[in-house]
A and B are shown apart, each in its own frame.
Chain A
Amino acid sequence: MALALDTPDRDTRRRRTRRPGIASVTLVPAAILVLLAVLGPVLVPFSPIDVVDRPDLPPGGAHWFGTDSAGMDVFSRTIAATRNNLLIGLITTVLATSLGILIGLVVGMNESRRGPVGTLARGVSRALDLVQAVPAIIIGLVLIAFFGASIPSLTVALTVCLLPNQARLVRAEVLRVRGEAYLDAARVSGDSELVLIAKHVLPNSSWPALENASLVFGSAIVLTAGLGFLGVGLHPPTPEWGSMIAIGAPGAASGRWWSALFPAVALALTVFAVSGVGRRLFGDD
């Protein structure tokens, strides 16, 4: 099937994206996002955390994206939310991916061993299955209830939720890689297990997790929205796309679409931009 997907058209596309100019273009949206995150709160026309006009004003000259159900400027909040969302998404992605790779490596390399180390590795593997079987939103609810709602605690909660998938991806890849002949060759040539893992197993088994990082980023933001909807997200009126979508969605059903649509578009574009960065950094191009 993989071969069937590797069509000449796709090769052509790959070749196109390999061109340096085009490849750099994929980083432009992400660069804009970073700029917005840094400068956004200074550039916005209205305070993103204050009531500035009548509620539910449609998009227009005074308020480009309209106002939300409380009377806050949707454009200012959408821009200002970039920093919070990028922060939550990026830290969660980095933590979940790096910890996931580490755990996946350790478990994958040791779970077929005998003795306490093998038992522990198999236990961790089953524990990852178990954590993944529990709905992420429940884990998030419990952890936030315990640590309180803030960006650090949200990040920890989301990391716990999203880490198992990354670890399992790496573990599966390690199980495949560790049977490769070149590992035996390296062992014969005198490499220690640690060097072997660092030099051969890690580079050859961590790509699925790295490629999946953009999905982790998107999931982190969507989960933040879910937690916000359940009342354990960032304190209102902190601008954050997920909460803005959750709060605006009921109004959308009655025709007041703008307060949910613009943060939804911002979220989608961000995931797309981060996906572009992922392809640039970890893809074939």
Chain B
Amino acid sequence: MSALRSPGGTGRWRRSRAALALAAVTAFAVACSSSANNPGTAAGGDGASMTIVTPDTGITWTLDDGFGGFEPGKNVQATLLRKPFVDSPQGRGVQQQDVYNYGPYLASSYEVSPDGLTYTFHLSNAISASGNEITSDDVLWSYERKFGTPGSLAAGIMAPSLTDPAQQIKKIDDKTFTITIPQAGLGTTFLALLSDLCGQIYDSTELKKHVTPDDPYAVKWSAQNPNYGFGPYEVTDYKPGQSVTMTARDDFVLGPPKVKTINIRIVPDPGTRANAVKNGDADLAENVTPADSATLSQDPNLIAPQVSNPNTYIMMPLVTNKAPFDNTLVRQAMAYATPYQQIIDNVYRGLAQRKGPGFLLDDAPGYSNAGFPDYTYDPAKAKALLAQAGFPNGVGFTLAVSAAEPDVREAAIQIQTQAKAAGFDITIDEMPASEFAQQRTNHTSQAFILRDYAITLTPPYELLVYTAPNGANNFADWYYKPFQDALAYGNTLPDALSDQAGQAWNSAEKMYLDEAPIVFIGQVQPNVLVSSRITGYAWTSDNWIDYFNFGTVSP
């Protein structure tokens, strides 16, 4: 019989040896993968270029193309207004946005009518990457495109300040136009929106050359040809999924950028990205894990930026349209069963903070976060609330988490372990990012845990961003009429940053927190790692980096 068999002995032994060799190589590679620091090698070398390593964020050039990685697009575009940068308390060249001031950019100035409804803007002499000077027609056409393109996010974001550009935006002359808003109290949020991604103005002269009957706003053309903005850089090379090269524009309206070339390299693994900066192969790494940031920030050649009030929150929406979180007491119990400080210490290694149970940034003028429920980890109190809700023996639920966010998965594990003492039996359902986004929007799971932020940082916008009735971001599917009434009342006040408005926002947020549709766990610091050779890293409310602010790169 054996004579009929294939000569398998050779293959078998070879396979065994191959398995052993593979194991040895794997073990060796894992053990030795921490390579030595090499602080002397500048990535740019010539002092005028820098390299950024980033995961594949699915680069999207404008909000009109849907949601994606907006950072390169942000740097080829410019907005009507701009939130200025100030130094972060951390020092070491780290800066942060002053999110309540709106300075000139493409608009060199603006004035407001006495009733607070009409804003008159005067345009600068900005030149686009295509060589055309900005006019009021560009502004009108840009907003026509933002609101007229199916799939564009701008219309949803700008409501209720701007809902009908054709009626609300009027051209006075080539360099002057007005925008009329429905309520004076929306003015602060409106100015903030014009300083964020929604305020980007496109070169309509260039785009109109590429319109077709099927594509009346040249969206298809511009998705492949990003150089139609008034921003500081133009794209000189783009390989989707691999790299982008951006070159400074010397005719930029605020002056020539100091860093002449930005090389963006897509590197999927977070550890490799962090090591690239550590080893001097890159100047800035994005989406670095908190563990890497905490470890590598001990290196004097590296900076893990920290700002006074980061707007990224780790949060846990509890979906209110299904059991058990259709019961307010269960939601409150979960708020007491969450180990906040343990997550900040164990997962974020101190690179997060908790200034209270709420979502509004506590430094907004006129606003105070006093008088809110004191949600701290208190399993006994959580257990009592669960019993009061009719679950004396505890309750189970599924917590959805995206596989793309390892820090959030770790936070979910902390919660799962600690919430057992309160009677919660949590099943963590990890899923691909796309499925998570779909479930989040459709409120399919019982609860979610995620990192997210409001780009526009005014109290009324922050209160509405996760609570808009039927909104895609209303992750908890929560509607509470007294809250909506309180929000509407605040919007009737003339100045959203006044003391009177601050009290209104406080009242509304108290209802938000008492009802606990979302457990806000903490504010997370920017997840970037910067070489100390780089100056001018600045946190922005959209969390996309402004390359124009980078200073000279030391050779």
Contact = CB atoms under 8 A, between A and B. Distances in A.
Contacts of B342: 51
Interface residues of A, number: 62
Contact of A254 (B12, B34, B402, B428): B34
> B interface, how many residues as a size bin?
35 or more
A250 to B, nearest CB: 4
A283 B8 contact: yes
A14 interface: yes
Given A231-B432, A278-B12, A252 B271 contact: yes
A232 interface: yes
Nearest to B7: A2
A108 interface: no
B271 A236 contact: no
A229 B430 CA distance: 10
B132 to A, nearest CB: 45
A229 B289 CA distance: 16
A56 interface: yes
B28 to A, nearest CB: 10
B272 interface: yes
Contacts of A235: 427-430
B176 interface: no
Main secondary structure of the interface of B (DSSP, over half): helix
Interface string A149-168: 10000000000000000000
B19 A251 contact: no
Interface in A174-189: 177, 180
B12 A253 contact: no
Nearest to B420: A50
Interface stretch (B59-67, B229-237, B407-415): B407-415
Contact of B417 (A50, A177, A279): A50
A78 interface: no
Nearest to A253: B271
A284 B401 CA distance: 50
A252 B291 contact: no
B34 A255 contact: yes
A14 B8 CA distance: 13
A177 B4 CA distance: 8
Interface stretch (A113-121, A125-133, A200-208): A200-208
B10 interface: yes
Given A173-B6, A231-B432, A237-B413, A250 B23 contact: no
A218 B342 CA distance: 37
B33 interface: yes
B6 A251 contact: no
Interface of A: 2, 5-6, 10, 14, 50-51, 54-56, 69-72, 141, 145, 149, 173, 177, 180, 203-204, 207-208, 211, 214-215, 218, 229-233, 235-237, 247, 249-257, 260-261, 264-265, 267-269, 271-272, 275-276, 278-279, 282-284
Closest 4 CB pairs of A and B: A231-B403, A268-B23, A253-B271, A255-B34
Interface of B: 1-2, 4-13, 15-16, 19-20, 22-24, 26-27, 30-31, 33-34, 269-272, 274-275, 289, 291-292, 295-296, 342, 345-347, 401-404, 406, 409-410, 412-414, 416-418, 420, 427-433, 435
